[in-house]
Amino acid sequence: MKTVHTDKAPAAIGPYSQAIIHGDTLYTSGQIPVDPATGEVVGTTIEEQADRVMKNLGAVLEAAGSSYENAIKTVCFLADMNDFAAFNEVYAKYFVNKPARSCVAVKTLPKNVLCEVEVIAAIG
């Protein structure tokens, strides 16, 4: 196993890695809409926050030698399922290959953000 870290995505806010590579598969931790340069939450709307999440995921995917196109499965967490359609519009711009996905609403996310996304992707 290999740990993945990039300064282009927020540092972990707990005892975990941004991602782990096992064999030819990448497992990312959930990314939230935090600006890696400032450590502050970006945006107040689901669209703004989802876009920052996708940029953070892209940085982790790139650091691991992967990409959105290699995504196998995503897990999406929303603070409010009423944001589902707006979240999907942003998500679809990044995950054009339509990987398998779960999307659930949760009571609260870290830093009270509106969304969090994790990815399983192939390397290469």
pLDDT for 124 beyond 80: no
Q: For the chain, report the end-to-end CA distance as a whole number of angstroms.
A: 16
pTM for this model (two decimals)? 0.96
| Rounded alpha-carbon distances, angstroms, from residue 53 to 1, 23, 29, 59, 73 | 25, 25, 12, 10, 16
76 a catalytic residue: no
The number of residues in the chain equals 124
What digits encode the pLDDT tens for the residues 26-35? 999 999 999 9
Query: What's the rounded mean pLDDT across residues 52-68?
Result: 98
- Angle between helical axes of 84-94 and 46-63 (0-180°, round to 10): 30
Mean of per-residue pLDDT scores for the chain: 97
Q: Which residue among the candidates 72, 86, 103, 122 is catalytic per the annotation?
A: 103
CB 117 within 8 A of CB 76: yes
Specify the pLDDT at position 47: 98
pLDDT grade for 13, boundaries at 50, 70 and 90: confident
Specify the pLDDT at position 12: 86
pLDDT for 80 beyond 90: yes
Q: Over the Cα atoms of the chain, what is R_g?
A: 13
CB 124 within 8 A of CB 72: no
Looking at domain 2-122, its CATH class is alpha beta
